[in-house]
Structure 1
Amino acid sequence: MFRNIIVLLLLALSMEAFAQRNGELEFAGIPFGASRETVIEEVMKMGYEPFGQMGKGERVVLPMFNFGELPVQVSFIFNANDKFYAFEIRTGKVEASRRFKAIEAAEYMSEQFTLKYGKPSQAPTLVESAIKEGRNNYQEWFGVKVLNAFTAVVGKSNRYFVLGYVEHRTLAKEGLSQKKGKEKGSDQPVF
């Protein structure tokens, strides 16, 4: 009897951990691995009008998405099999005199990533005076083994914006080996 209770308790805990991990593998309720059509359908159900819907390999972009308190642009990125494998979140650009706003946005975005993906691998690495042209990593998350996730402040032409990026590693590679295999097979006769 006692053994059965322990087994049930362990089973319940493992199911909760699975549900939590499975919830990390999505964006706004859209799971990684979803088809382009599914992503477009789900985005439209949320009341957004996506751009870039046509053509294999193109991104589906939401020019205005409410990421909590932060208005952002979201890009859904698809692999060689046209499955959703990554998303990119960008804030609007600010002038050099308002760089502090980019740091505030990076802090907010990083807080949201921490709620979703757990503790970041390091403390924030930037202060306003240290921001240079190019991509300046702010924080990275390694808590979910199949994901690459980071936030960064990007400087270009004396304007700054925040970039958040999450990629499913397995799905990112999917289709690449099949594509290579087809290229190899092209040397073989077709009959």
Structure 2
Amino acid sequence: MMLLSAEVFARRAPEHTQDFAGIAFGSSRETVIEEVMKMGYQPYGQSGKEGERVVVPIFKFGELPVQVDFIFNSNEKFSSFEIRTGRVERSRMSKAFEAVEYMSDQFTLKYGKPNSNPRIDEESNLKEGVRNFYLEWLSVSTLDINTAVVQIEGRYFAVGTVTHRLLSNEKVKSAAPAKAKASNAPVF
């Protein structure tokens, strides 16, 4: 019985990791917008310009209000998402670390155990303008997953990113094949 339940969990786990809030990686921009609106959010980035993200400025990530960016590959397929908190000043930096811990706990529930202990804490010398990685999940074969704290101009925020490797590296679909020479035969 235990073997059967382990097998069922193993089969469900990869499917469970291939989405954000029920929106599957590989979904079209239109599908993402539709699903986000079904959740009651009004997203930005609906024009569909190349490289434009679909952004939900205030998304309830459990107990944590975050901004969610849905990122699309060159074929307009949902390939990555990024969640981030609002910025806080240095005197409230502990809030950014509480947020990154909460994000990390939620990622652990969804993706399993991270690959190491946290790399940074409030005493760390954080680099300006880059992701100072807190935790990474390297055991999920198709995804790049991390949480981090970013410092920009003396303000701090937590960020979590999940990228589907295959979709993010997907080649641009080629143009429609060249049309065959016109024929005198009917087309129906």
Answer yes or no: same fold by TM over 0.5: yes
Secondary structure in 1 aligned to 2:34? Answer: helix
Paired residues in the alignment total 174
> How far apart in 2 are the matches of 1:61 and 1:101?
23
> How far apart in 1 are the matches of 2:52 and 2:103?
25
Match of residue 33 from structure 1: 26
Match of residue 186 from structure 2: none
1:40 maps to amino acid? I
> How far apart in 2 are the matches of 1:16 and 1:155?
39
Deviations 1:60-101 (A, max 9, x none): 000000000100000000001100000000100000111111
Q: Which of 69, 73, 79 is the equivalent residue of 1:75?
A: 69
> How far apart in 1 are the matches of 2:93 and 2:6?
44
Q: Which of 90, 93, 110 is the equivalent residue of 2:87?
A: 93
Shift of 1:19: 1.6
Structure 1 position 46 matched with structure 2 position 39: yes
> How far apart in 2 are the matches of 1:91 and 1:64?
9
Deviations 1:24-78 (A, max 9, x none): 1100000000010100000000000000111233100000000001000000000
> How far apart in 2 are the matches of 1:78 and 1:131?
33
Secondary structure in 1 aligned to 2:133? Answer: strand
Match of residue 185 from structure 2: none
Shift of 1:126: 1.2
> How far apart in 1 are the matches of 2:171 and 2:107?
28
Deviations 1:8-35 (A, max 9, x none): x75x754442222101110000000001
Secondary structure in 1 aligned to 2:123? Answer: helix
Match of residue 140 from structure 2: 144
- Percent identical across equivalent pairs? 58
Match of residue 113 from structure 2: 119
Structure 1 position 173 matched with structure 2 position 169: yes
Shift of 1:175: 2.4
Shift of 1:147: 0.2
What runs of 5+ residues in structure 2 fail to find an aligned partner? Answer: 176-180, 182-188
Structure 1 position 59 matched with structure 2 position 53: yes
How well do the aligned residues superpose, as a CA RMSD in angstroms? Answer: 2.0
> How far apart in 1 are the matches of 2:32 and 2:135?
27
2:100 maps to amino acid? A
Deviations 1:91-114 (A, max 9, x none): 000001111111111100000000
What runs of 5+ residues in structure 1 fail to find an aligned partner? Answer: 183-190
Secondary structure in 2 aligned to 1:124? Answer: coil
